[in-house]
Amino acid sequence: MVLTYAMLLLAALPDAMFAPVLKSILIDRYQVELENSFWFMSINLIGMLLVLPLLPLLRRRLKPSMLIAAAALCNGVLYALMAFPVGLVWTLCLRALEGAPDLVVLASVLSLVSRSEGSGAENRALRFGIAGTVMMLALFLGLIIGGFASSA
């Protein structure tokens, strides 16, 4: 179970790391106004919405470990590509696509939390309470790490 929570922490960590580096990614690199740069944070919802209908099919065809590994690898590649100066439109397209593997990883890990040992409703509530706490911790740590990365 600890490994599942660790995967959840690592999956949620990058989501908050972008906020502190928006200035260097969009404002400095592409001269986007601050007010418009925050669209970057929410555009990945497009990828999430596009992959949502495919989740049941993916879960039936792949083992959870393979699904998590493939989606995490895809997510990492998309994050890496966004580090290159590929142009504003392509950066936004990459960010939109990044939402798909992000959702696949989070949904798959949360599914493992749901199916883990202890089938009682009380245990399930406790497991999801811990999962929510881990996700909030990941967002907190992501902001701090992103802040250090943007000041370096």
What is the predicted pLDDT for the residue at 54? 95
| Spatial CA neighbour of 24 closest among 9, 40, 12, 6 | 40
> What is the average per-residue pLDDT within 26-44?
86
pLDDT, one tens digit per residue, over 56-77 is 999 999 999 999 999 999 999 9
Mean pLDDT of the chain: 90
Q: Residue 86 gets which letter from DSSP?
A: -
The two tokens of residue 145 are 């790490």
83-115: pLDDT as tens digits:
899 999 999 999 999 999 999 999 999 999 988
Q: How confident is the model at residue 121 (pLDDT cuts 50, 70, 90)?
A: low
pLDDT value, residue 91: 93
pLDDT of residue 152: 67
**% of residues, the chain, pLDDT over 90:** 63
- Residue 5 contacts by C-beta under 8 Å, 6 or more apart in sequence? 113, 130, 131, 134
pTM of this structure: 0.88
